[in-house]
């Protein structure tokens, strides 16, 4: 099931002179199983938006819908009773008869929000700063451990998550602090994957990594999306990264969604993107310049191999 | 063996040298030190090129070809008894007014090297001189930090005051400058980074690129000779990156500021006078951007990239085209493909 943002607005410091509309009537759907890239200048509203997707920020206006349910809606009596039933089992009978209290509603709401956070995993910038356990195994097991799962299940999830980020069992007993920056980051991502989310949101996962570390992380995330059907949402300042990995790109500007489409569609708006403080991949820039001189390309070129292929013959050269 | 004692201050110091590293070696020793360690030096197991080569681990200094430094760092980088060797005999001099880009993978030692320039680290072995001053001498440290200011990745961690002007004044105030001089320096520093209009703004309300320019102004207000930047654009959006890089170019060209610029963006390194490539704690390549980047295969073997246009030229030439292999920018590529233009 997709996540939908319906007519979302978010206003910071409302009623003060510093009032700022971080998101302005945003309508957007994140379909299942895609790799989605989000680009936008600093302050464009990207961070606010991704934090709404897992309920960390509540919109000032509008609704966030996950699997058909408004995640911020007060639970219905029926849902609260349903929660009490699962929470207290046999003992719940007396709860179910009595009038629901504010406490019951609050507990139910917190429980439902927890479900949302399990389904929508959010990896913040520099997640490796949040590693704290003595071993990598313990660090990855921390989240699933809190879910009250069986030992075997936790172990299975730890191994699976570690494999998903491209590390093998030999890392389990190591300290996370012995690893390189890129490896630490992968362990931190594995910790979120161990919660088995349906959506994985990554905020600048490659900042500060060298080219190889960058390709490793993004390559693994792409593989994960293809093989497991998880939806990956990548927030990035690298136009090359989103061009190379995303199926769909969302370009944001001053709290508005300006463009949504395939990388080729979005990056065909070169001038507009630059005016928004963004850019286009260098090969796309080359295409623009060559077209001004009479070259004809059949489509928007986003990566070096395609540009190579076109320049080696398929392209009509007239300059 | 050369007659000169490699661990002592060289007899002849070139007047033009802003920074001079001789046999610079640094070992992270204990856990307390570990805290100080920049993120990237923790790396030890690198897949790929170096680990795969099973042949001898030679002890010669890094050469210019893949063959010469193939395999030579096996076993040497990384931890033994809690020690991590981050720099292994770096020899490098940077002249006054030079713009040098330092490239290298995470764990190559670039940040550790940068931290030696303003005496955040002192060499375990070897020497680091800044304007002829030995960073090992306690008495020099104050002056060295005034001459060589450092900018880090995260602009938010570098803001100390709630108003831009006060933030920029923080450094000179700590140096005990006269209030009148501070005011003048702050004004000029903000002009240099083109942020005068924001002098009364709150740093937290600025964009990433603007924050980094304020951080740069904070260094400039101390009137340094040299500015060292450790991935200052890693967290910035494309416009912010351009702003920071342009500011540095201007400072370098107009004020003759020495700039040492660490980055993972190859397109930014193109703008430097000289590129230094580090790998496993050593300098393995050095030259102008053109001299470095046309060695596409070598750069990839070190785990780095080349600018997109250089890679495209390399691929096209492999297919039989005859382009200048040292193309670095889109403009150069356009001119190469359409010479009449």
Phi-psi region of A208 (alpha: psi -120 to 50; beta: other; left: phi over 0): left
Residues of A in contact with B241 (CB under 8 A): 237
Give the residue extent of every domain in chain A: 3-270, 281-319
Dihedral (CA of B150, B153, B158, B163) sign = positive
Closest of B266, B318, B315 to residue B292, by C-alpha: B266
Which member of A41, A286, A308 has the closest CB to residue B237? A41
Q: Is residue B285 part of a domain?
A: yes
pTM for this predicted structure: 0.85
Q: Which residue has the higher pLDDT, A148 or A230?
A: A230
pLDDT in tens, chain B (341 residues): 444 455 556 656 677 789 999 999 999 875 545 545 555 444 433 333 333 333 333 333 333 343 333 333 333 444 556 678 999 999 999 999 999 999 999 889 999 999 999 999 999 999 999 999 999 999 999 999 989 999 988 888 888 899 999 999 999 998 889 999 999 999 999 999 999 999 999 998 888 889 999 999 999 999 999 999 999 999 889 998 999 999 999 999 999 999 999 999 999 999 999 999 999 999 999 999 999 999 999 999 999 999 999 999 999 999 999 999 999 999 999 999 988 76
Q: Does ipTM exceed 0.90? A: no
Identify the pLDDT of residue B198: 94
Cβ atoms of A3 and A30 closer than 8 Å: yes
- Could you tell me which chain A residue has the CA closest to the CA of B308? A282
- Could you tell me which chain B residue has the CA closest to the CA of A128? B39
Give the CATH number of the domain where residue B252 resides. Answer: 3.40.50.300
Q: Is residue B251 part of a domain?
A: yes
Which member of B40, B234, B240 has the closest CB to residue A207? B234
Q: Give the phi and the psi of residue B297 in degrees, each rounded to 5.
A: -65, -40
The verdict on a CB contact (< 8 Å) between B238 and A279 is yes
Which member of B40, B46, B239 has the closest CB to residue A181? B40
Query: Which DSSP state fits A305?
Result: H
Identify the pLDDT of residue B38: 56
Cβ atoms of A213 and A206 closer than 8 Å: yes
Q: Is residue B329 part of a domain?
A: no
- Given CATH 3.40.50.1820, say whether it is the number of domain A3-270: no
The verdict on a CB contact (< 8 Å) between B237 and A240 is no
Residues of B in contact with A42 (CB under 8 A): 207-209, 236-237, 240
Q: What mean pLDDT, rounded, does chain A reach?
A: 91
Cα distances (Å, whole numbers) of residue B334 to A185, B55, B181, B266? 39, 43, 49, 19
- For the CA atoms of A34, A59, A39, A212, the dihedral, rounded to the nearest 10 degrees, stands at -70
Q: Is residue B216 part of a domain?
A: yes
- Could you tell me which chain A residue has the CA closest to the CA of B238? A278
State the total domains in chain B. 1
Q: Is residue B66 part of a domain?
A: yes
The predicted model gives A66-86 an average pLDDT of 89
Identify the pLDDT of residue B279: 95
Cα distances (Å, whole numbers) of residue B314 to A304, A306, A316, B297, B331? 11, 14, 21, 9, 16
Cβ atoms of B20 and B135 closer than 8 Å: no
The CA distance from A286 to the nearest CA of chain B, in Å, is 6
- Give the bridge partners for A251, in sequence order: A39, A259
Identify the pLDDT of residue A196: 94
Mutate to test the interface with A, among B308, B314, B322, B332 (most CBs of A within 10 A): B308
Residues of B in contact with A312 (CB under 8 A): 316, 319, 321
Tell me which of A213-222, A273-282, B50-59, B299-308 is least confident: B50-59
- For the CA atoms of A74, A78, A80, A82, the dihedral, rounded to the nearest 10 degrees, stands at -140
Q: Is residue B61 part of a domain?
A: yes
Which member of B312, B321, B340 has the closest CB to residue A283? B312
State the residue range of the domain holding B58.
17-306
The verdict on a CB contact (< 8 Å) between A290 and B338 is yes
Copy the structure tokens of residue B275.
């590129």
The CA distance from A100 to the nearest CA of chain B, in Å, is 44
3-class SS at B92? strand
Q: Which residue has the higher pLDDT, A18 or A90?
A: A18
Q: Is residue B5 part of a domain?
A: no
For chain A, the first-to-last Cα distance in angstroms comes to 50
Q: Is residue B270 part of a domain?
A: yes
Which member of A179, A239, A311 has the closest CB to residue B42? A179
- Could you tell me which chain B residue has the CA closest to the CA of A207? B234
The HSE-up count of residue B36 (CA atoms within 13 Å, CB side) is 17
Copy the structure tokens of residue A235.
């927030």
């Amino acid at each position: 099931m997709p996540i939908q943002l319906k007519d979302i607005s978010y206003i910071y410091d409302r009623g003060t002179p510093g009032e700022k509309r971080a998101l302005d009537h945003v309508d957007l759907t994140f379909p299942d199983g895609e790799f989605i890239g989000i680009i936008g200048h600093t302050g464009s509203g990207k961070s606010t938006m991704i934090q709404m997707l897992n309920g960390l920020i509540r919109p000032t206006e509008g609704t966030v819908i996950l699997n058909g349910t408004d995640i911020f809606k007060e639970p219905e009596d029926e849902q609260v009773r349903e929660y009490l039933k699962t929470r207290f089992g046999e003992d719940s009978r007396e709860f179910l008869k009595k009038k629901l209290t504010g406490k019951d509603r609050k507990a139910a709401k917190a429980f439902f929000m927890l479900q949302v956070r399990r389904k929508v995993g959010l990896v913040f910038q520099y997640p490796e700063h949040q590693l704290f356990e003595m071993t990598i195994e313990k660090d990855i097991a921390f989240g699933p451990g809190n879910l009250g799962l069986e030992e075997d299940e936790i172990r299975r999830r730890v191994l699976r998550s570690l494999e998903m980020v491209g590390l093998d069992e030999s890392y389990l007993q190591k300290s996370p602090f012995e690893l390189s920056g890129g490896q630490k980051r992968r362990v931190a991502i594995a910790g979120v994957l161990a919660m088995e989310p349906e959506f994985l949101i990554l905020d600048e996962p490659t900042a500060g990594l060298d080219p190889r570390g960058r390709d490793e992380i993004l390559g693994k995330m792409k593989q994960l999306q293809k093989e497991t059907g998880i939806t990956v949402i990548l927030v990035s300042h690298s136009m090359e990264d989103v061009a190379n990995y995303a199926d769909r790109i969302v370009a944001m500007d001053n709290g508005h969604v300006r463009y949504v489409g395939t990388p080729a569609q979005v990056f065909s708006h070169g001038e507009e993107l630059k005016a928004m403080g963004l850019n286009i991949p260098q090969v796309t820039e080359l295409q623009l310049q060559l077209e001004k001189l009479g070259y004809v390309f059949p489509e928007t070129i986003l990566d070096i191999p395609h540009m190579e292929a076109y320049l080696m013959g398929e392209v009509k050269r007239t300059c | 063996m050369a007659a000169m004692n490699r661990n002592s201050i060289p007899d002849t110091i070139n007047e033009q040298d802003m920074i001079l590293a001789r046999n610079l070696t640094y070992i992270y020793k204990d856990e307390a030190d570990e805290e100080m360690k920049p993120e990237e030096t923790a790396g030890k197991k690198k897949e790929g090129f170096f680990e795969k080569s099973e042949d001898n681990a030679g002890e010669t200094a890094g050469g210019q070809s893949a063959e010469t430094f193939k395999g030579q760092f096996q076993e040497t980088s990384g931890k033994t008894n809690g020690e991590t060797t981050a720099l292994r005999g770096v020899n490098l001099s940077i002249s006054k007014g030079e713009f040098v880009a330092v490239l290298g993978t995470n764990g190559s030692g670039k940040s550790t090297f940068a931290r030696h320039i303003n005496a955040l680290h002192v060499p375990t072995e070897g020497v680091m001189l800044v304007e002829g001053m030995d960073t090992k001498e306690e008495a020099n440290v104050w002056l060295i930090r005034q001459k060589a200011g450092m900018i880090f990745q995260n602009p938010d961690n570098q803001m100390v005051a709630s108003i831009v002007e006060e933030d920029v004044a923080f450094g000179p105030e700590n140096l005990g400058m006269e209030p009148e001089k501070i005011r003048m320096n702050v004004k000029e520093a903000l002009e240099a980074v083109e942020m005068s209009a924001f002098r009364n703004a709150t740093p937290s309300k600025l964009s990433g690129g603007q924050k980094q320019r304020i951080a740069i102004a904070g260094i400039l207000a101390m009137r340094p000779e040299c500015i060292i930047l450790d991935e200052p654009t890693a967290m910035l959006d494309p416009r912010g990156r351009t702003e920071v890089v342009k500011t540095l170019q201007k400072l370098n060209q107009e004020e003759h500021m020495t700039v040492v610029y660490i980055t993972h963006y190859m397109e930014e390194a193109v703008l430097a006078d000289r590129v230094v490539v580090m790998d496993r704690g050593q300098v393995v390549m050095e030259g102008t951007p053109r001299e470095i980047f046309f060695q596409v295969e070598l750069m990839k073997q070190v785990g780095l990239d080349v600018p997109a246009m250089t890679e495209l030229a390399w691929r096209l030439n492999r297919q039989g085209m005859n382009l200048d292999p040292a193309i670095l920018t889109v403009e150069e590529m356009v001119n190469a493909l359409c010479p009449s233009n």
